[in-house]
Amino acid sequence: MPPLEALIREVIAGEGPMRLDRYMSLCLGHPLHGYYMTRDPLGERGDFVTAPEVSQVFGELVGVWAVAAWGAMGRPAAFHLVELGPGRGTLMADILRTVRKAAPDFAAAAAVHLVETSPVLRDKQKAALGEGPSWHGQFEAVPEGPMILIANEFFDALPVRQREKRGGRWHERVVGLENGRLVLGLGPEVPGGEGAEGAIVEFAPEREAVARAIGGRLARHAGAALVIDYGHLVSAPGDTLQAMRRHRFVPVTEAPGEADLTSHVDFAALAKAFRAGGAEAWPALTQRDFLLAMGLVPRFEQLASRATLETRATLHRQMERLAAEKEMGNLFKVLAATSPGLGMPYPFGRP
């Protein structure tokens, strides 16, 4: 039995079934056995592949967006360029390479801050980015000041809770022990609104707390934040908690600490939390619409024009992966939040 499963069973045997948010944070973040603490999960040989790992173009276009945001902020001579959950550091490396060429003043003004809990991934980030960045364990530790913040596939990894309606009442969903196995079940009664019998509603206080803190920062200093993740634009009931191992879905109670555990981001709730913190949040776009508006196709065409036939096919495949409706294009959404008064950033708010 994996050590983390033994530990979770012990806790449940002693204290009773545990809430999903606690289960999720133990699985992902337990200091010794948590999923992210013990491995680099990214890449074809790992458990999942993210957009920056698909193509450099993703980071290049995010970099272009960041430079435009910096322009809207009045081109401050010093600001914090923050990334939450930078993985292997690929996205930040692609952003920095792009801005050093295209906007050296931006590059000179940026102090890079990475928010990362995983020691394994911090090492990868150091290998990709050198000793230049500052590392922090949480967003709140990033120093105050003007900021541009990027988060790709970060919020999906923050713990969620779920409530389920049974017998006309809402109950917390919990992980318990049944016949010697970890199972999902119903816990104590909790308050909840309308909902059909059997409905499951997800909510994510930890995600919202981070978004509120970012919103507060944007209210105090000029800045902008760009959040990219899989999820839905409108809040709706549904269980989206998922465990993924080697590119396959597995039951969420199977092999705790060995599978990636995530849930879809409720972008409406996230936007509300940014606003509650004091920022403006703009209607989210699909990743497809965002990338197309940022110049995805011409950039790929430019790369293809100086590539071999074989590489051209690969480039085409990468572009499809990022933007095709059946791939990441529609499932992934992009949300921007800005300091009040900064105005709506391109390409948000377009039809």
Q: Which of 91, 99 has the CB closer to ligand SAH?
A: 91
Q: Which of 117, 338 has the CB closer to ligand SAH?
A: 117
Distance CA 231, CA 207 (A): 13
| Min dist. Cβ of residue 304 to ligand SAH (A) | 24
Report whether 79 contacts 112 (CB < 8 A).
no
Q: How many CB atoms lie within 10 A of CB 214?
A: 28
Site string for ligand SAH, 115-154 (x = CB under 6 A): xxxx--x------------------------------xxx
Pairing of strands 169-178, 161-166: antiparallel
Binder of ligand SAH out of 23, 36, 70, 300 (CB under 6 A) = 36
Give the N- to C-terminal CA distance of the chain in Å, as an integer. 52
Binder of ligand SAH out of 59, 63, 76, 86 (CB under 6 A) = 86
Bond preceding residue 119 cis, omega within 30 of 0: no
Q: Which of 57, 157 has the CB closer to ligand SAH?
A: 157
Of 6-14, 113-121, 287-295, 321-329: span binding ligand SAH (CB under 6 A): 113-121
Q: Which of 171, 264 has the CB closer to ligand SAH?
A: 264
Residue whose CB is nearest to ligand SAH in the complex, by number: 85
Binder of ligand SAH out of 11, 12, 22, 53 (CB under 6 A) = 53
Token reading at 319: 């572009």
Residue 261, beta-bridge partner list? 243
Binder of ligand SAH out of 129, 157, 291, 334 (CB under 6 A) = 157
Residue 42 in the binding site for ligand SAH (CB under 6 A)? yes
Q: Could you give the 3-state DSSP secondary structure of residue 311?
A: helix
Distance CA 66, CA 244 (A): 31
Q: Which of 54, 99 has the CB closer to ligand SAH?
A: 54
181 CB contacts (<8 Å, ≥6 apart)?
A: 253
52 CB contacts (<8 Å, ≥6 apart)?
A: 58, 59, 87, 90, 91, 94, 152
Token reading at 220: 């105090």
| Min dist. Cβ of residue 339 to ligand SAH (A) | 23
Residue 332 in the binding site for ligand SAH (CB under 6 A)? no
Residue 47 in the binding site for ligand SAH (CB under 6 A)? no
Of 79-87, 239-247, 278-286, 310-318: span binding ligand SAH (CB under 6 A): 79-87
Residue 52 in the binding site for ligand SAH (CB under 6 A)? yes
Q: Which of 29, 215 has the CB closer to ligand SAH?
A: 29
Is residue 350 classed exposed, middle or buried when 0-12, 13-18 and 19+ CB atoms within 10 A define those classes? exposed
| Min dist. Cβ of residue 139 to ligand SAH (A) | 8
CA torsion sign for 176, 116, 286, 303 is: negative
Which residues make up the interface to ligand SAH (CB under 6 A)? 28-29, 36, 42, 50, 52-53, 85-87, 91, 115-118, 121, 152-154, 157-158
